[in-house]
């Protein structure tokens, strides 16, 4: 795992090597083991390296023997040994055992089409000197991040926004569309970032910068099978196939020259990975779990069942409500507003794991691929009886607010408020943070620009016409929520502790089957992840296989009616809101008081507002969102 960055200048200009050197220093947490910078003509590429494969010889940037092609990468290529053998048969010679050198030679053999052959998680950059071409690419599921910026001087890129912000010409003028998206989702979907001057490269996208011109293509698009192509074999046959595919993926993800562990939450996804890693991997696998004093959020007992069954070297940590200490630090790690509260346990389990291993497996992607969210069961129920259930809203709205995890009142209110909407709007409404009307009330006039946060969702949903409805909604989550929330959270929190996290569910070996499953093998009634549970039954205790999903969340509602109230009042004070210049202080106070009083569960809304406020303080130093000195960004998309 690494941090990468670089600059490709426009023809007739010269890139600044010192700027790239400064960018690499900002990314040292992503790669504390090694670093380097390479300059060739119009381009300068930089890297910081966390050494995982070929510890001695995998230095980056890596340059071809003739000095004409240079590569930097963040990630792991799991089929690098297979690709190396193919390239050797074609006459290519290798000086190392690094997967980075395989990227270099594969590009020299195939050009930009090389990305189609890669199995792994990666964000990479290749400078082709003779062609005067910079190629950026991101893996098909968007596991690893990549940001870029275009201005009068050329194109710059980096693994994290904090490196781009160091560019002399970078404008920190906020993007109003990104602000609206954040308030709708508590994260900012690609291609936007919080700054007008920067964009995210999307999952499965390849960018070319050649002759001062930018082009982007989507080279990979994992998508659900059309209804006619859905796999309809008996469950036992599909379970057998899934077990084999999971074994194959975990085996590939265990390849490392350093110790590998598993983040063990107690849910079906991470427990399955732990069981397989224990069977396929080291003599005594290390596992790591986080728990809470609040019983409805605590899965330590279930995690211990798996740890004991497989004799792992198990480590646990019980989390106290210390968000007031952690949130400012985490805001700095994300570089832009980000408010998934499970970042706290993700950071803490990463810190725990990093004390023992350099690589850990995690279960991201299992819910989106196999149907693990309660919203999926609600989607199907609403299709059958949404109109009738929506008429119960006056009664449901009378339920008092609870601080328990996914409480009945919270789920019931969310359901009846959206039950009779069209499928995509309904699916979003169950997870929506601030509605259109709430955003209009919350934002000061300056940020009242027309915005449609769901535009990207609608576009993606339209691409899967002909697939079963549930699969289409899962695909929206897979391409947006997973990429721009869950994977961002996992990457930043693990990299903040110099820990590489791998996600075996997001591997073609597993995803190709999952994307072809019929609805009934994923969700039926209130039963979710039906095929995965059946496949894992021979590996896991009954309590895990039959257990209800709890998720990797924190007791935010309780904390924001207890220990965290003083912190929330400080971070969201009217004085601070006025100084930052984004939110109407009175509207913010209404949200805060409604939650603290117990009238509504607004914990996710408050978490978002606090996260935004902490980002704004760090980005602008309390001076408000005035554009930084420098040129305006060039429109790139």
Q: Alpha carbon 49 to chain centroid distance? A: 21
DSSP secondary structure code for residue 443 in this structure: B
Do the beta carbons of residue 194 and residue 367 sit within 8 Å? no
Tell the residue number behind the tokens 């920190």, with chain if given.
172
Residues in contact with 577: Cβ distance below 8 Å, sequence separation at least 6, in sequence order: 583, 584, 585, 588, 613
| Residues tagged active-site | 2
Q: Which of these, 564, 572, 583, 589, lies nearest to 624 by C-alpha position?
A: 583
Q: Count of CB atoms within 10 A of residue 445's CB?
A: 6
Report DSSP state, residue 582: S
Whole-number Å distance between alpha carbons of 137 and 201: 8
- The 8-class DSSP code of residue 28 comes to G
Give strand ranges (E) for 41-141: 43-49, 62-63, 69-77, 120-128, 133-138
SS3 of 147, please?
A: strand
Beta-ladder partners of 73: 124
Angle, in degrees to the nearest 10, between helices 603-620 and 176-185: 150
In the block, residue with structure tokens 């190709």:
512
Those residues with Cβ within 8 angstroms of residue 53's Cβ, 6 or more apart along the chain or in another chain: 76, 80, 97, 98, 99, 255, 256, 257
Q: How do 120-128 and 199-200 pair as beta strands?
A: unpaired
Q: Which residue has the tokens 């906020």?
A: 174
Residue 85 and residue 93 in contact, taking contact as beta carbons nearer than 8 Å:
no
Q: What is the rounded CA–CA span in Å between residue 581 and residue 619? A: 13
d(Cα 313, Cα 301) in Å, to the nearest integer?
16
Taking a C-beta distance cutoff of 8 angstroms, is the pair 636, 190 a contact? no
């Amino acid at each position: 795992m690494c941090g990468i960055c670089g600059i490709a200048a426009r023809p007739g200009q010269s890139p600044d090597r010192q700027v790239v050197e400064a960018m690499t220093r900002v990314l040292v947490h992503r790669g504390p083991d090694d670093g380097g910078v390479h300059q060739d003509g119009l381009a300068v590429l930089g890297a910081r390296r966390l050494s995982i494969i070929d510890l001695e010889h995998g230095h980056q940037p890596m340059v071809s023997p003739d000095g004409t092609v240079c590569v930097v990468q963040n990630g792991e290529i799991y089929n690098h040994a297979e690709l190396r053998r193919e390239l050797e048969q074609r006459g290519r010679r290798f000086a190392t055992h690094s997967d980075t050198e395989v990227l270099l030679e594969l590009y020299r053999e195939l050009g930009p089409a090389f990305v189609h052959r890669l199995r792994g998680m990666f964000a990479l950059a290749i400078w082709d000197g003779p062609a005067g071409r910079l190629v950026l690419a991101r893996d098909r599921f968007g596991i690893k991040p990549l940001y870029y910026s275009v201005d009068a001087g050329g194109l710059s890129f980096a693994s994290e926004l904090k490196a781009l912000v160091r560019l002399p010409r970078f404008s920190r003028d906020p993007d109003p569309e990104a602000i609206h998206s954040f308030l709708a989702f508590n994260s900012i979907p690609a291609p936007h970032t919080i700054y007008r001057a920067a964009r995210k490269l999307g999952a499965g996208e390849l960018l070319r910068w050649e002759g001062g011109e930018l082009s982007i293509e989507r080279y990979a698009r994992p998508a659900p099978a059309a209804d006619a192509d859905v796999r309809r074999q008996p469950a036992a046959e599909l379970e057998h196939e899934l077990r084999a595919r999971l074994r194959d993926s975990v085996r590939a993800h265990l390849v490392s020259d350093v110790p590998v562990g598993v983040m063990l939450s107690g849910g079906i996804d991470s427990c399955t990975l732990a069981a397989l890693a224990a069977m396929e991997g080291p003599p005594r696998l290390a596992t790591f779990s986080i728990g809470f004093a609040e019983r409805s959020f605590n899965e330590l007992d279930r995690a211990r069942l798996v740890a004991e069954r497989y004799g792992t070297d198990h480590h646990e940590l019980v989390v106290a409500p210390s968000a007031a200490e952690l949130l400012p630090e985490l805001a700095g790690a994300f570089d832009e507003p980000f408010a998934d509260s499970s970042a706290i346990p993700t950071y803490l389990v990463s810190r725990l794991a990093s004390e023992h291993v350099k690589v850990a497996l995690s279960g991201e992607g299992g819910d989106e691929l196999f149907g693990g969210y309660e919203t999926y069961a609600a989607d199907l129920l609403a299709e059958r009886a949404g109109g009738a259930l929506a008429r119960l809203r006056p009664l449901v709205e009378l339920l008092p607010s609870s601080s328990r995890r996914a409480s009945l009142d919270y789920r019931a209110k969310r359901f009846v408020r959206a039950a009779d909407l069209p499928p995509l709007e309904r699916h979003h409404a169950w997870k929506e943070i601030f509605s259109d009307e709430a955003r209009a009330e919350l934002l000061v006039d300056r940020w009242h620009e027309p915005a449609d946060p769901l535009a990207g969702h609608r576009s993606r949903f339209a691409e899967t016409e002909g697939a079963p409805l549930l699969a289409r909604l899962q695909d929206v989550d897979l391409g947006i929520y997973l990429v721009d929330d869950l994977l961002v959270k996992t990457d930043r929190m693990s990299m903040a502790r110099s820990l590489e996290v791998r996600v075996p569910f997001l591997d073609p070996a597993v995803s190709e089957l999952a994307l072809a499953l019929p609805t009934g093998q994923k969700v039926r009634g209130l039963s979710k992840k039906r095929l995965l549970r059946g496949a894992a039954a021979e590996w896991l205790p009954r309590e895990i296989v039959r257990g209800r999903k709890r998720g990797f969340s924190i007791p935010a509602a309780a904390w924001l009616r207890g220990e965290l109230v003083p912190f929330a009042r400080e971070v969201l004070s009217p004085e601070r809101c006025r100084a930052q210049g984004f939110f109407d202080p009175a509207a913010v106070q209404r949200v805060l008081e409604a939650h603290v009083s117990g009238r509504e569960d607004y914990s996710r809304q408050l978490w978002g507002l606090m996260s935004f406020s902490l980002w704004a303080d760090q980005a602008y130093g309390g001076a408000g969102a005035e554009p930084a000195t420098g040129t305006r960004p060039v429109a790139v998309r």
